Amino acid sequence: MTVRELLGEGTLLRTDTSGDVPDTDTYGLFLDDTRHLSHWELTVDGTRPRLLADDGDELVLAPWTRRGTDPPCTVFRRQTVRYGRLTERVRIVNHRAEPVRLTVSYRFAADFADQFALRTDRDHPGPAGVRGVRRTGDGVRLTYRRADFHRATTLRAGCPPSEVHDAGLSWTSEVPPRGEVTMTVEVRAATGVPPAAPAVVAEPTGDALLDGAVARGAADLSALVIPDGAGGHTVAAGSPWFLTLFGRDSLLTATFARTAAPWLAAGTLRALAATQGRTVDPSRVEEPGKILHERRRGELSHFGHVPYGRYYGTVDATPLFLMLLAETGDDALAAELETPARAAVTWMFDHGGLDRRGWLVYRTDGAGLVHQCWKDSARGICFRSGEPAHGRLAVAEVQAYAYAALRGTAGIARRVWGDPAYADRLDGAATDLRDRFVRDFWLDRDDFVALARTEDGRQVDALASNAGHVLWTGLLDDDRATRVGRRLAGPDFFSGWGIRTVAAGQPAYHPLSYHTGGVWPHDTAITVAGLARHGLHAEADTVARGLLAAAAHHRYRLPEVFAGFGRDEHPVPVPYPHACSVQAWAAAAPLLLSRVLRAATPPGRRPAPH
């Protein structure tokens, strides 16, 4: 059954093609990891109308009739999703010369299921609380309560229904000849209305391919903007199952969108500062000063059945927090966030491992995720042979983020905090890290960067796209960076559409693998920025053009990931079967490409529209 998705401000509606929610699978209205509608069905005179057309904004339906018999009316169904609410407007148009009497009904249910129980194969406890139903004058209120966890779904009709049941609303109307009637229903999963989010705006460049991807990315990013809890806004990681604050994803997205949505950085940084680690809690991988990986609000998280209520299982969000703070150039914000920024630096040196181990490290045997970098699947960090890496790991791009974080925070300490001694300490640590990186991560036989380093000093030798992140931060000298960049732009990495997460030709490579062969748009965009940083503008342009061409094949919407098949193997990008779309850093990738390409190309030499 085909899924249709409507998304707005962290609220998701998943329906069939006719706009109904079947009481099966993972359809429904979702907010904060909870399903607020598990059944939603429109009928006209007791039957579901069939779909005639969908223009993206409105569904056109008609009652079922025998072949050769004209339907009595047309049903125009418009659904709008905003924070915590679905608004549905149905317009019935009578095409006959006499009045038509029709009964329009909705059947509904709310199971308040946790999305973790719906989307995984693992056994999770089902809802164990108490449900309630209360009829109101213009609708129904459905409730769920378990101890201090409670949720409600309220259905309100815009005009008084003829009948109200615990699981249904009905209107019986006489539609005048050649006339129409309209009815509206609102489904609320939250109370209150958050402040309106500012727009995500990107300046056109005159390059049709780039502008198409930028416009689609800006629109998709706008749909993922969520309240930050403090009167501002941040961004959710992606749809359908990641509509919440994610440290790494939200930070990189805000970084990419810095010029198109400058307000996003402040909201994201404030939201993450408010949830920063305070104590040592191994069940959540929490440590003082550490930046959150993800925040969940569903029942399973609330009662600890899954560890993701506030989960800190990421080693890179903390340096990325500091990188973004430095990149904003906002001195007032840097002064406001001095305490959490210093705590983040302390975490890097202390619990993060910079002081004792020389690198930012994580353990693969902690709670939740196996790997705590962006390639966080169980086999995401592996040797060339495909053997997964285990134990305490220092991953290459995380050290690059640490380097950039130290340099950026040193600048803030001098300019804003008035603490030159602290700045000197951070600069010294950054220089030391850069000096040691080549010694411990350079693969002499490959003239490339190792993916990671184990606690006992072994290099995890898979040739992987993480090296593009190293170029982005400036951790390598220009000579080595040039050699790495040219390899990344070569045929084993560059598929013609983007950069493979693992270079083809290695035993570890698989074109349909999530992290060992697939192409991720955000990863490719970072590599483009890294190539441009080191003067490899021709290579940067070639890779960027490949990714933009892939976007054009997806109606300019870049998915989370697509398969690693080369352009010479298949003429269009091959979808990855479980990719999220819409996805925040994929949506923001064209915004980063636009910045990089425009900076590298003088205005008079930009490509003509095509």
- Residue 450 above 90 pLDDT? yes
Please provide the DSSP assignment of 178-219 as one string: T-EEEEEEEEESSSS-PPPPPP------S-HHHHHHHHHHHH
The DSSP call for residue 605 is G
Task: Write out 420-486 in H/E/C secondary structure.
Answer: HHHHHHHHHHHHHHHHHHHHHHEECCCCEECCEEECCCCEECCCECHHHHHHHHCCCCHHHHHHHHH
26: tokens are 């993972």
pLDDT of residue 601: 66
4: tokens are 């249709």
For the chain, how many residues are written? 610
CA distances from 409 to 51, 344, 355 (A): 56, 10, 17
83: tokens are 């924070």
Helix residue ranges per DSSP H, 56-133: 115-119
**Identity of residue 331:** D
392: tokens are 């305490």
Average pLDDT value for the chain: 93
The span from the first CA to the last CA of the chain, in angstroms, equals 37
Percent of the chain topping pLDDT 90 = 83
pLDDT of residue 194: 75
78: tokens are 């418009």
Range scoring the smallest mean pLDDT among 182-191, 225-234, 377-386, 588-597: 225-234
Contact 92, 181 (CB under 8 A): yes
pLDDT digits (tens, 9 = 90+) for 537-557: 999 999 999 999 999 998 999
pLDDT of residue 68: 77
- Residue 396 above 60 pLDDT? yes
User: Model confidence at 320, in pLDDT bands (50, 70, 90)?
Assistant: very high
Say how far apart CA 452 and CA 314 lie, in whole Å. Answer: 15
Contact 517, 464 (CB under 8 A): no
Say how far apart CA 493 and CA 46 lie, in whole Å. Answer: 57
pLDDT of residue 122: 66
Say how far apart CA 168 and CA 106 lie, in whole Å. Answer: 5
Output 2 or 94, whichever has higher pLDDT.
Answer: 94
pLDDT of residue 123: 67
276: tokens are 């920063």
State pTM to two decimals.
0.93
Say how far apart CA 401 and CA 321 lie, in whole Å. Answer: 10
Sequence-separated (6 or more) residues with CB below 8 Å from residue 497: 519, 546, 547, 549, 550, 562, 567, 573
Average pLDDT over residues 257-286: 95
Give the pairing type, strands 294-295 and 392-395: unpaired
Give the pairing type, strands 59-62 and 73-82: antiparallel
Say how far apart CA 38 and CA 14 lie, in whole Å. Answer: 10
Report which of 220, 310, 221, 202 is spatially closest to residue 267, judged by C-alpha positions.
221
Phi-psi region of 10 (alpha: psi -120 to 50; beta: other; left: phi over 0): left
Cα-flanking dihedrals φ and ψ of residue 447, to 5°? 55, 50
